[in-house]
Structure 1
Amino acid sequence: MSDDVSGSPPAEEAIGSRRRVSDMFRALHERNFALFWTGQLVSGTGTWMQTVAMAWLVLTISKSAAVLGLVTMLQFLPMLLFVLPAGVVADRISKWKILLAAQSLAALQAIVLGSLLLEGTPEIWQLAVLAAALGLSNAFNNPAQQAFIAEMVGGSLTADAVAVNSVQFNATRMIGSGLGGVAVAQLPAYAVFFINGASFGASLLALVLMRRSDLRKVHGENAKGLGALREGLGFAFRTPPVFFILGSVAIVGTLGFNWPVAGPLIADRLLGIGPDGFGALMSALGVGSLAAGLGLVVFGGGTEHRIIASGALLAVFLTGLGISPSYPLSLALMFLAGLSGTTFTTTVNARLQSLVPDRLRGRIMSLFVLLLIGSTPVGASLLGLGAETLGATATLVLFGVSSGLGLGVMVLVHRLRTVGRDER
Structure 2
Amino acid sequence: MFRSLKYRNFKLFFYGQSISLIGTWMQKTAVSWLVYRLTDSAMLLGLVAFVSLIPSLILSPYAGSLIDRNNKYKILLITQVISMMQAGALAAIIYFQFYNIPIIIGLSLLQGIINAFDVTCRQSLMVEMVEDKADLPNAIALNSTMANLARIVGPAIAGVILSTFGEDFCFVGNFVSYIPVLICLLMMKLDLKVIPHAQKSIWAELEDGFKYISGDKDLSSMIVMIGISSLFVIPFNTLMPIFAKDLFHGNAGTFSWFESAAGLGSVVAAMYLANLKSAKPLLKITIIASAVFGLSLVFMSYSSILPIALIFMALSGVGMMAQTSAINTYIQTHAIPEMRGRAISYYVMAYQGMIPIGSLLIGWAAHAFGPRLAVCIAGLIGLLATGLFFMYQTKRARRPISGLLFKS
Is 1:143 matched with 2:110? no
Q: Which residue of 1 aligns with 2:226?
A: 249
Contact 1:152–1:216 (Cα < 8 Å) also in 2:
no
Contact 2:23–2:175 (Cα < 8 Å) also in 1:
yes
Is 1:290 matched with 2:267? yes
Is 1:34 matched with 2:23? no
Distance 1:350 1:379 in 2: 24
Once the two structures are superposed, residues 72-120 of structure 1 have per-residue CA deviations (whole angstroms, 9 ceiling, x without a partner) of: 1011111111111001111011111111111112211111111111222
Distance 2:6 2:380 in 1: 43
- The SS at the match of 1:212 is coil
Q: Which residue of 2 aligns with 1:105?
A: 82
Q: CA RMSD in A?
A: 1.8
Q: Which residue of 2 aligns with 1:173?
A: 151
Instruction: Show the 5 A alignment for 1:24-423.
Output: 24-154=1-131, 155-213=133-191, 215=192, 221=198, 224-258=201-235, 260-300=237-277, 301=279, 302-417=281-396
Contact 1:52–1:177 (Cα < 8 Å) also in 2:
yes
What is the aligned-residue identity percentage?
A: 28
Structure 2, unpaired ranges of 5+:
400-408
How many residue pairs were aligned? 396
Structure 1, unpaired ranges of 5+:
1-23
Distance 2:195 2:32 in 1: 38
Distance 1:186 1:52 in 2: 15
Once the two structures are superposed, residues 343-372 of structure 1 have per-residue CA deviations (whole angstroms, 9 ceiling, x without a partner) of: 111111111111101101110001111111
Distance 2:172 2:396 in 1: 51
Instruction: Give the Å deviation of 1:292.
Output: 1.2
Once the two structures are superposed, residues 207-228 of structure 1 have per-residue CA deviations (whole angstroms, 9 ceiling, x without a partner) of: 1111133x45678946742221
Q: Which residue of 2 aligns with 1:3?
A: none
Distance 2:22 2:7 in 1: 23
- The SS at the match of 1:120 is coil
Contact 1:174–1:282 (Cα < 8 Å) also in 2:
yes
Distance 2:156 2:137 in 1: 29
Distance 2:341 2:37 in 1: 39
Distance 1:49 1:108 in 2: 17
Instruction: Give the Å deviation of 1:239.
Output: 1.2
- The SS at the match of 2:363 is helix
- The SS at the match of 1:156 is helix
In structure 1, what residue type is equivalent to 2:297? Answer: L
Name the CA shift for 1:414/1:147 in 2 (closer, same or farther; >3 Å): same
Contact 1:270–1:393 (Cα < 8 Å) also in 2:
no
Instruction: Give the Å deviation of 1:314.
Output: 0.3
In structure 2, what residue type is equivalent to 1:50? Answer: Q
In structure 2, what residue type is equivalent to 1:182? Answer: V
Instruction: Give the Å deviation of 1:408.
Output: 2.1
- The SS at the match of 1:258 is helix
Q: Which residue of 1 aligns with 2:404?
A: none
Distance 1:335 1:171 in 2: 13
Contact 1:91–1:220 (Cα < 8 Å) also in 2:
no
In structure 2, what residue type is equivalent to 1:193? Answer: F
* TM value normalised by structure 2: 0.93
